[in-house]
Chains A and B, each alone.
Chain A
Amino acid sequence: MQMPEPSQDIMNQREALAVALRQIVGQEWVISDEAERRPYQCDGITAYMAMPLLVVLPGSAAEVQQILRFCHAKGIKVVPRGSGTSLSGGALPLEDGILLVTSRLCNVLEVDAANRVARLQPGVPNIKISEAVQHLGLCYMPDPSSQLISTIGGNVAENAGGVHCLKYGVTANHILGLEAVLMTGEVIRLGGAYLGAAEGEMDLMGVLTGSEGLLAMVTEIAVRLEPVPEVARVISMSFASVEQACACVGAIVGAGIIPAGLEFMDRKVLDAVSVLIRETFDSNTAALLLCELDGTAVEVDALVDVVSDVARTQGAIETKVSTTEEERQRIWSSRKLAFSAIGKLCPDYYCTDGTIPRNKLPEVLNKMADMSVKYGLDYANCFHAGDGNLHPIIMYDAAKPGDLEKAEAFGADVLIACVDAGGVLSGEHGVGVEKRDLMTHQFTDIDLNQQQMVKCAFDPAELLNPGKVFPTACRCAEFGRMHVRNGVVRFPDIPRF
């Protein structure tokens, strides 16, 4: 994987830059020591590592602003990082760029129960939002599996999804306002801290959400809070074949039900998590569907009956309904810890993230089985079936020469199969460096050029998180931009809007 050539000139300035940045954030919050920079070499993908030039941990939005202004003036690249859980290499450092870490910006600034809004600093871990408002009977709905530690700032950058996004929507649907700092140090505020605050604005919040740290550094987020559903129950449905489980997904949604979550786990994943949830699974089970239904008690009871009927019709071996909240939490924790639990089965894994139309699930899953044979690598499947968001977990051993390359090729083939089935490269993990070079498979040159023009509008110097998302540099300088110099428009005789 090719990253932009680092500038030796900038790398030589490390100590001088550290001195200057320490004046902004204080002595201990600029990390320049080699041993101490090492733990920041990668995020959730250990296959890609790079030593950051410096690691900087600001303690306020004002410090973020000063850091960006300084880096802009000096032409230093900046890679934003939250808790370093990205599965697309979004926070992979650059050797000639600083890593700007938001972990110290972790305060819940305000909880407004009347407006059902929380104002947050970007480093607040996702789960802490719900914990901070649970006494009000409220919660923050998007729940990526990494929610114990992944930050809301990172969730905004990746437009994170999660188990419950099938019914409640992804991060973008829950953001009411953003404060962000542009690479120049200019602060922009979008929307506000109440529902509808963004009415009448161009949807720049939509542009920033999911922009993977390429456009601006988010320093404050206002999120929507939702009432905790009165009742929630999970039905686990086991199937003797993957095809039956996939067909059942379509049948449930086809029956007019939007479950709060609809998840698929294959046999290998079940074996990995069974210890964690202290449960064994029937030996005939090839796949398990978890379907969460929530709402009022009457509504949930009725839905449980319908889904159980559908499961029976689709040939489920067994259906079990959670009876207590503790049981429900235990089942979900198994799902949320599934990826890491795979770590027990193999030295390394590579998880990717394509999304396909639901009805293509059996077709793409079958292709995956063929690819596994072709590359000689084992894989496991655990994904958000309800929204067709696949997460094949490809197992390999980084110590074996050639294994990583095979895993990468396997992953790329899966993503290409997703796009060919009418799907997209990423559901929720982002493009980062991991899917960057496949962007040309999903988008034409014209598409990519248009997207890069957005990048150029926000960060024409291309200093924010370069080398991510786009397979080529944006060449902002070459795009025809209209310069207004001293108030004089060039070519004033050409008619304009």
Chain B
Amino acid sequence: MLSHIPEAAQDADANIKLAKEIIGNCVHCGVCLSRCPTYAVRHEENDSPRGRIFLIKGMYEKGGVPDARTVEHLDRCLTCLACEAICPSGVEYSKLIAHGREYVEQHYRRPLFQRVVRESLIRLLPNAGLFRKAIALGRLARPARGLFSGTLRAMMDMVPASPLPAPSPVDRPQTFTVTPGTTRRKRVALLNGCVQTALDTAINEATIRLLQRHGVEVVVAQGSGCCGAPAEHMGAEDKALPLVKANIDAWLREADGPEGLDAVIINTSGCGTSVKAYGHAMRLDPQWAEKAARVSAMARDISEFMTEIGLMSPARPTGQRIVYHSACSMQHGQRIINQPKDLLRSAGFTVLDVPEGYLCCGSAGTYNLLQPEIAQQLKERKVRNIRSVNAQVAASGNIGCMTQLAGDVGIPFVHTVELLDWATGGPEPAALAKAQIAAG
């Protein structure tokens, strides 16, 4: 599609030049509308990928301060990337929307409430300690949540009803050697994440056990932490970059050390999409471009890595009916579609797909907090679809979706690695033990 973005703007900003190229690849065929969650809810072109491409084109053509309506529609995008995955013309929507949001944050002054909320989230999420304190406060305020609406209400609703687990000893920087009696085949760094270390410590614990059992040494590298996605999703590149650089340094220190590193393992697909894009994010910085590209090339979702090294035979009877919810960052962002399901099958489980599986559950990082109305509609739709297949357990590879859905699906909701760990000799996931799920 032809755009008329002024040459001067393109020369001044490499991301605007890139935007022009990306817009040029769009032929306006409309296939993306069929996969877009906001279009499924709103039925309005402005809330579709094709519409947002037009809006971004208009924003750059006009230059200056973006108008409030354009910002609202760009905010409503979940960045689920279902559009990019189905686009036959290969339009790189992810880059277009990410840079478009950066432009918005640089040129548009949001109303005070929005600024406060966004700033708090950007500060809170990457810091597990602060996040824990906020959740504790939220629990105190929980009984009064009926008095609130919109984003505040959504935040209070997200606070778990039961207390958070104590910080896990595995999330401190250290090295986990392979299970005694097995030979070391690989050595990897684990991104233990930010929110995940506060909300659900069992996921990293299961991941480490699973890897150790398969002859993989695991390092939680000193200095690694949040991947930077929360800030990046809100267009706050300046807030994301220090986190990105800290991770690159931490992992390359290991990779270039005497023991070396075969991969960076990520068990939260939202973070995985982000780490795999480090190379693009830093491409214009000569000091970091190459280092970032190296880290991106080493990044693997745990399901990709386990597929590469092969899963051992199950150590106990399984066969439970598992409904597998593929996170958008997994299936669209990283195009990992069959690996998690194949692993679960080879561990002996019966795997069922979610109808309308391409649709986002509404979690989308901080989206459920910033856009509670659309998020709620998507959540209800996803819950209906998950319930419709009548499974015993739901599994996913992304903590965000699990937090969004676990309370409503009526069955235990666990991380894929917890099931793989259990099947190959680890402890039964707490949620399953509680629900007394029988083998199939």
Contact = CB atoms under 8 A, between A and B. Distances in A.
Interface stretch (A235-243, A289-297, A340-348, A464-472): A340-348
Contacts of A354: none
A447 interface: no
Contact of A35 (B48, B70, B91): B70
A343 B67 contact: no
Contacts of B25: 343-344, 347
Max count, chain A CB within 10 A of own CB: residue among B27, B50, B51: B27
A270 to B, nearest CB: 14
Interface in B45-69: 45-46, 48, 50-51, 54-55, 58, 67, 69
Contacts of B149: none
A348 B43 contact: no
Contact of B43 (A85, A106, A146, A340): A106
Nearest to B27: A343
Interface stretch (A11-19, A39-47, A421-429): A39-47
A53 B90 CA distance: 32
A44 B30 contact: yes
B46 A340 contact: no
A113 interface: no
A148 B31 contact: yes
Interface in A44-73: 44-46, 55, 57
Contact of A44 (B29, B86, B90, B91): B29
A398 interface: yes
Nearest to A147: B34
Interface residues of B, number: 32
A104 interface: yes
Given A39-B46, A341-B89, A46 B31 contact: no
B27 A337 contact: no
Given A125-B34, A149-B33, A46 B28 contact: yes
B30 A33 contact: no
Contact of B87 (A40, A340, A342): A340
B373 to A, nearest CB: 12
B43 A38 contact: no
A31 interface: yes
Interface in A284-343: 337-343
A348 B25 CA distance: 8
B30 A36 contact: no
A46 B1 contact: yes
Nearest to A351: B27
A12 B2 CA distance: 29
A55 B44 CA distance: 10
A401 to B, nearest CB: 12
Given A35-B58, A398-B2, A40 B45 contact: yes
Interface in A370-423: 398-399
A113 B440 CA distance: 35
B46 A343 contact: no
Contacts of A398: 1-2
Contact of B27 (A38, A46, A55): A46
A161 interface: no
A349 B26 CA distance: 11
B88 interface: yes
B45 A39 contact: yes
A146 B30 contact: yes
B27 A349 contact: yes
A127 interface: yes
25 contacts: A31-B44, A38-B54, A39-B48, A40-B45, A43-B28, A44-B28, A44-B29, A45-B28, A46-B2, A83-B33, A84-B45, A85-B30, A125-B34, A149-B33, A150-B30, A276-B88, A339-B29, A340-B31, A343-B25, A343-B26, A343-B29, A344-B90, A347-B2, A348-B1, A398-B1
Interface of B: 1-2, 24-31, 33-34, 43-46, 48, 50-51, 54-55, 58, 67, 69-70, 73, 86-91
Given A39-B45, A149-B30, 11 more contacts: A39-B54, A84-B28, A101-B45, A103-B44, A104-B43, A146-B31, A148-B86, A341-B89, A344-B89, A348-B1, A349-B27
Interface of A: 31, 33, 35-36, 38-46, 55, 57, 83-85, 101, 103-104, 106, 123, 125, 127, 146, 148-150, 276, 337-344, 347-349, 398-399
